[in-house]
Amino acid sequence: MNEEQRSLLLQCSSHFAPPKGVKLSYGTAGFRADATLLRSTVYRVGILAALRSLKTQSVIGLMITASHNKVSDNGVKIADPNGGMLSQQWEPFADALANASDPSELLQLIDDFVRKEGISFDNGRPAEILLGRDTRPSGKLLVDAARQGISSIIGAISHDMGVLTTPQLHWMVRARNMGIKSTEHDYFQQLSHSYKCLVELIPNGKDVSKSNDKVVVDGANGVGGDKLEVLKHLCGGLIIEVRNSSKGEGALNEGVGADFVQKEKVVPSGFSPSEIGLRCASLDGDADRLVYFLMQPDSKMIDLVDGDKMLSLFALFIKEQLNVLKDNENETPCPYHPSLGIVQTAYANGASTSYLKNLGLDIFITPTGVKYLHEKASEYDIGIYFEANGHGTILFSDRILSWLEARNSDLSSSSTESQKAVLRLLAVSKLINQAVGDALSGLLLVEAILLHTGWSIQKWNELYRDLPSRQLKVKVVDRTAVVTANAETVVVQPAGIQEAIDSETAKYRHGRCFIRPSGTEDVIRVYAEAASQEEADSLANAVAKIVDQFLGSGSSQ
């Protein structure tokens, strides 16, 4: 790093003093906190984004959002060249940058890291970063801080893409680095074209008139509802009514949104009895989560159709298309049989895992966190992962995409079922956002598959019956005292606690329970399932007491 670069970093960073007494950590969600505490952090993440761009010689994304958090919070996260999350290897550097006490310490950290990583400021393309933000009032100020951080690296270029959903920014980064058109218009065009392609490939004789029962979507008073208003007009024939857009009077994520609906299992604000019996869906604040639901008559409660059910619907559809290709190999013989894998965490409802296993699918359980799910899913030709909260996607390997394109070329003169299956899979690969979970693309894929199958949301919801579950938090002095293994399903420390949990769980029909330390607060999370809600509640409370006995001074929530 030359003296000009050192001087610029020292000068600029002197205007962004970190908040005293605050320690921030970069995780799956990036940095998140009260927006008033984040100006220094976002400035420094701007520097990190520019360094990441120089290291990878690629376009990097920087998104200002706190997703499903309350409106007074905000956050910042990085999109890597493939559109995914920041490489885990860079997370410790992000933590160190955010918590450096003064400009001198910050400069030393950068200098050491640049030297270790072999980052050059002079050779190759300049750093280039795409900036996006959600609808939070604090977003503009934080984007400005990010731009100043980026400008602290000589030659770095930033492009303010405006108000976006988080998945849109990730999509744009991935597209830009793949050398394809990457504007917001291009995003809308790709999704709408792929959706219409799937609809055109619905088998002859299928009654699609049932599609006229509209889908009513809760936009969480955020950016997703606004973007969906644009997208629905491009899809043709898809009837979507948006409630709770950012232009309304409601507060972002307050009594609305996918996180609220999934956790509370109640009707979000903005819905009325006229929606009873209709397909309803809910996005979160930055539109990277999606859940569906049915309103119950004469009640504020809902039947939740969560991420596990979406995963099952997608898996069924893709398995059906692969089976068509396998059953018709005489048309174009090929020894290659693509692998289809399902990736879940221990929080997936046990009924969903049993259902998927009964379909003969390969199931793999990872630790909690999208970064683990995404990494494992990428090992399959087609990998599907979804968390129960509605965050997930489908990944198609380069190998299978090349194979599908070749099959499409071989079958181009025919209109066989194999040709249609190939085209459906190619359309899904373009409709789903392979960079990251995307509520808008996920919603369009659900709607297309329901049209294809002729199913109502009621029939979809009846694929299997969820086991009743309960989640609790137990306050503890030191959450790091709990060490887990086997994708967080077994406790190895402290000694004896797993045996106590197993003994208690064995008392309940269909009992399943695990505990894990929170990644952000001094609590131990308890998850329990059983044959009835009363039994699930009882098991969760019993295990919470076990946690308290072993770790002390706790209380369950």
The verdict on whether residue 288 carries a ligand-binding annotation is: yes
HEC secondary structure over 92-135: HHHHHHHHCCCHHHHHHHHHHHHHHHCCCCCCCCCCEEEEEECC
Can you give the length of the chain in residues?
557
The verdict on whether residue 555 carries a ligand-binding annotation is: no
Task: Yes or no: say if 413 and 374 are a contact pair by the CB < 8 Å rule.
Answer: no
Write the CB contacts of 467 (distance below 8 Å, at least 6 apart in sequence). 349, 350, 351, 510, 512, 529, 530, 531, 536
Which amino acid is residue 226, in one-letter code? Answer: D
The verdict on whether residue 535 carries a ligand-binding annotation is: no
Side-chain-side CA neighbours of 61 within 13 Å: the count stands at 34
| Residue 209 designated active-site | no
The verdict on whether residue 525 carries a ligand-binding annotation is: yes
The verdict on whether residue 332 carries a ligand-binding annotation is: no
The verdict on whether residue 308 carries a ligand-binding annotation is: no
The verdict on whether residue 519 carries a ligand-binding annotation is: yes
Taking the chain, what is the end-to-end CA distance rounded to the nearest angstrom?
51
Write the CB contacts of 88 (distance below 8 Å, at least 6 apart in sequence). 371
The two counts, helices (H) then strands (E), for the chain are 18, 19
Given 40, 67, 194, 245, the catalytic residue: 67
C-alpha 448/C-alpha 192 separation (Å) is 11
The verdict on whether residue 529 carries a ligand-binding annotation is: no
The verdict on whether residue 416 carries a ligand-binding annotation is: no
- 189-199 b/e (C-beta count within 10 Å ≥ 16 → b): ebbbebbbbbb
The verdict on whether residue 478 carries a ligand-binding annotation is: no
The verdict on whether residue 179 carries a ligand-binding annotation is: no
Report DSSP state, residue 477. S
Which helix (DSSP H) or strand (DSSP E) does residue 385 occupy? Answer: strand 382-386
The verdict on whether residue 32 carries a ligand-binding annotation is: no
Task: Yes or no: say if 126 and 155 are a contact pair by the CB < 8 Å rule.
Answer: yes
The verdict on whether residue 389 carries a ligand-binding annotation is: yes
Query: Annotated binding residues for Mg(2+), as ranges?
Result: 67, 284, 286, 288
Query: Annotated binding residues, as ranges?
Result: 67, 284, 286, 288, 387-389, 516-520, 525
Q: Which residues carry out catalysis?
A: 67
